Homo-oligomer: A and B are copies of this chain.
Amino acid sequence: MTKGPQFEPVQPVRAYQRIVEQVEDALARGDLAPGQRLPSERELVAQFAVSRSTVREALRVLESNGVVRSRPGDPNGPEILPFSSFALRKQMTRLARVDELTLSELIGFRMIMDGAAIQVASRLRTPEELDDLEATLVAMRDAIDVDFAAFSEADLAFHELIARISRNSLIQTCNEVVRGVVLGLIADKIAHAPNSRALMLESLHHHAEVVDAIRAGDGHAAARIARQNMFDYYAGYVPDSEQETLRALIDD
């Protein structure tokens, strides 16, 4: 069953999709540049030989990708947006291709990001924020008795708080995003692991150690424990061949 050629599901290519591709390709080739204008919708209808509805659906996709912007009444036609916006979207799309990322890359990224956030947070945290961290530890403890989903939510709250303390919403977003992806991939396996409760308790214990280190102002130690914890927690789901790469990340 796992042998033999792997066929991919074939799905019909929609006309509006091919329009989107043509425009984005032109942009990638440089035939189209930011600041330039696309022909008017009616002109595009003629060029692509499709109906205006189809052209407009394609424009909606391009717009949602941050490639173009239409303005009613503008005789110049849809505007090609400047680099930052287009490139960002384009890159993000690449990032969003979860299936092209290995689990170990995702986990490695989390180890690095989370470690960095904790290190920064251990310097910037106020006494009140330290109290908040303690509070999330209690919440995690309580959640263990409920179920894995509850624990996972409490864990999320912990990492959100860390990211917030690090005073950088980008860190926060990145961490949340990648965390969501990783969990989406393996949450079931963890939840149904026979030693699920033990895993949660151990994770809680490590989190408490992290908070202790933060309180002591030892960012290095805090980050290291956090990375170690993440390794222990997730590495089991990574192929053996890739575990070494992750293990190398624990120490800094």
CB-based nearest B residue for A110: B170
* Contact yes or no, B60 A16, CB < 8 A: yes
A180 — which chain B residues lie within 8 A by C-beta? 83-84, 87-88, 91
* A92 part of interface (Cβ distance < 8 Å): yes
* A78 part of interface (Cβ distance < 8 Å): no
A146 — which chain B residues lie within 8 A by C-beta? none
* Contact yes or no, A252 B178, CB < 8 A: no
The interface-forming segment of A41-49, A100-108, A199-207 is: A100-108
* Contact yes or no, B101 A170, CB < 8 A: yes
CB-based nearest B residue for A167: B245
The listed residue (B56, B72, B83, B98) touching A53 by CB distance below 8 A is: B56
* A76 part of interface (Cβ distance < 8 Å): no
List A residues 90-143 near B (Cβ within 8 Å).
91-92, 94-96, 98, 101, 105-106, 108-109, 112-113, 115-117, 119-120, 123-124
Interface SS majority for chain A: helix
Per assembly, the copies of the chain total: 2
* A173 part of interface (Cβ distance < 8 Å): yes
Q: A119 CA to B16 CA in the complex, in Å?
A: 44
* Contact yes or no, A84 B248, CB < 8 A: no
* Contact yes or no, A181 B88, CB < 8 A: yes
| Known interface pairs A88-B180, A174-B174; A108-B252 also in contact (CB < 8 Å) | no
